[in-house]
Amino acid sequence: MILADSSFLIAFFDEADSQHEKAVKDMKKIEESSLDILVSEHVLGETATVLLYHAGLDSAKAFVEYAQENFIIDPADGEYRLATTTIFINQQWQLSYIDASVVFLAKFLRSDVICYDEKILKEINRK
């Protein structure tokens, strides 16, 4: 299983994104490895919203439909919110709350992450 951040998902679903070709190659590697893709409920919403504003309603709808059929979607519960809040408050990189939720899940699940945001990756690797 691999945890996906919105930076990767937006790049994959928005053909105009500067990292679209990289995301297509990375998705191909994930599919060839038969890895399940985990997406948090927060990342699902963030990705759909950014796609709506940058690529249009059809792109956002296509992403949500694809996500529902192809990804494992992790809901945010009480402990999840508390841990995300703790990471958000104690961070060093100006991460959004949603980015902090990705950091939490990556650390909690000890999961590989597909992410193009260096701040998130630095926070995941911070001790």
Residue of 116 and 77 predicted with greater confidence: 116
| Domains held by the chain: number | 1
What CATH number is attached to the domain comprising 121? 3.40.50.1010
Phi and psi, residue 37, nearest 5°: -105, 125
Summarised one tens digit per residue, pLDDT across range 50-90 is 999 999 999 999 999 999 999 999 887 767 788 888 889 98
The pLDDT > 90 percentage for the chain reads 80
What six digits make up the tokens of 48?
């759909």
pLDDT of the residue at 127? 66
What whole-number distance in Å separates Cα of residue 85 and Cα of residue 65? 29
Instruction: Read off the DSSP letter of residue 15.
Output: T
Helix 6-13 / helix 57-70 crossing angle, nearest 10 deg: 120
Q: Quick one: CA torsion of 104, 2, 45, 22, rounded to 10 degrees?
A: 120
What six digits make up the tokens of 85?
């809040």
Which range marks the domain in which residue 35 is found?
Answer: 2-125
Question: H-type helices in 33-95, by residue range?
Answer: 41-55, 57-70, 78-90
Phi and psi, residue 3, nearest 5°: -85, 130
Instruction: Read off the DSSP letter of residue 93.
Output: S
